[in-house]
Amino acid sequence: MSRADLEVRATMLRDQGVPFVRARVVLAQRPTSARAGDEAIIHADGSIEGFVGGTCAESTVRAQSLMLLDSKEPLLLRITPTEESGSDGPGDTASGTLTVHNPCLSGGTLEIFLDPVVPPPLVQVLGDGPIAAALTRLAGELDYRITTVDRQTVHDALAVVVASHGRGEVDALAAALDAGVPYIGLVASRKRGIGVLAELAELRPDLARIAPGRVHSPAGLDIGGRTAAEIALSILAQVVSTRPHSAAPTDASSAEAAQATAAPAMSVDPVCGMTVAAVEASLHLDHNGTRHYFCGPGCLRAYSASSGYPES
């Protein structure tokens, strides 16, 4: 895949709100199969498009990239085939650098810049009145993505705000509750909000129990807002204040979402001791009911030979 193709692919992923890591080789010491300027995209499932080194280097890049999708911080990754004497240590991911000794690396040292591209939080708004318009303006200042409520993508939303003043409210609230959206707000008076939730409970009895505790109505913190902009500000402040961090999920949908965004599982190569991402894209072998992950084909072959596992 050419650099131009990768750029097109990266743009498409950004537009679709799909997280990925952009990797670029900034140093390649001979002998190595990679060259400075080589690039790749690492997806959340561990699959890689492009080229930043052979299988062993790729394994290290995959493992570190998947962790960066959780931390969202860029990293300069240095991969060395031998222990480097006189160094101050492997580095610190908090400082933006990390040195990894990969004993299976047959080539020279590689330095690869890993840049996680995580889409900004998605806020879906139903309505086209003054409050909805103010929400759109202010959310842009917070670098949130704003779309209308859409059942196809609502499961990706951080927040759903229903500000349509009677139009399509129940359907939008039901969609947000079904998707386990972290914040759901209904712009309505307290009295009318109770009526909307009663209508929702009548049409969707299965949501009657959870809706009162999940739907913020009136939406927004009580800061005495009067104008559309002030009310929008109070709603976005409430979105920020209730944004999930390490809190336990409140329902099954939220639990699935938390699991999907959790740090990836890691495994240890039983031959060389390298840390490998425990994902389908990594080299692996099922033996005696256990799945083993490997940094490269050499370790996989060595394990197969030592365990008497027939090579396919």
Domain extents for the chain?
Answer: 10-117, 122-242, 266-307
CA 211 centroid distance within chain: 27
CB atoms within 10 A of CB 84: 14
Q: Which of 7-21, 73-87, 169-183 has the highest mean pLDDT?
A: 169-183
Superfamily for domain range 122-242? NAD(P)-binding Rossmann-like Domain (3.40.50.720)
- What pLDDT does 233 receive? 95
> What is the rounded average pLDDT of the residues 22-34?
89
88-122: pLDDT as tens digits: 445 455 568 899 888 776 678 999 999 999 888 89
> What is the rounded average pLDDT of the residues 77-83?
86
Give yes or no for residue 261 having a pLDDT over 50. no
Give yes or no for residue 45 having a pLDDT over 80. yes
Residue 102: which of 265, 274, 219 has the closest Cα? 274
Look at 175-184, 252-261, 300-309 and tell me which has the smallest mean pLDDT: 252-261
- What pLDDT does 188 receive? 93
Continuous segment of H or E residues that includes residue 28: strand 20-28
Are the C-beta atoms of residues 23 and 58 closer than 8 Å to each other? no
- What pLDDT does 262 receive? 54
- What pLDDT does 141 receive? 86
- What pLDDT does 260 receive? 44
| DSSP one-letter string for 39-66 | EEEEETTS-EEE-SSSHHHHHHHHHHHH
137-190: pLDDT as tens digits: 998 888 898 999 988 899 989 999 999 988 999 999 999 999 999 999 999 999
| DSSP one-letter string for 62-82 | HHHHHHHHHH---EEEEEESS
Residue 181: which of 202, 150, 141 has the closest Cα? 150
Helices assigned H by DSSP within the chain: 3-16, 55-71, 130-141, 169-179, 190-203, 211-214, 228-241, 252-261, 297-307
Report the C-alpha gap between 281 and 277 in whole angstroms.
Answer: 9
Pairing relationship of beta strands 122-126 and 157-162 according to DSSP bridges: parallel
When pLDDT is cut at 50, 70 and 90, the band that residue 255 belongs to is very low
- What pLDDT does 308 receive? 64
- What pLDDT does 86 receive? 46
199-247: pLDDT as tens digits: 999 999 999 899 999 999 999 999 998 899 999 999 999 999 887 653 3
Look at 113-127, 183-197, 258-272, 275-289 and tell me which has the smallest mean pLDDT: 258-272
Share of the chain above pLDDT 90, in %: 49
Share of the chain above pLDDT 70, in %: 87
> What is the rounded average pLDDT of the residues 269-293?
85
> Residue 105 — left, alpha, or beta (φ > 0 → left; ψ -120 to 50 → alpha)?
beta
Look at 49-53, 208-212, 300-304 and tell me which has the smallest mean pLDDT: 300-304
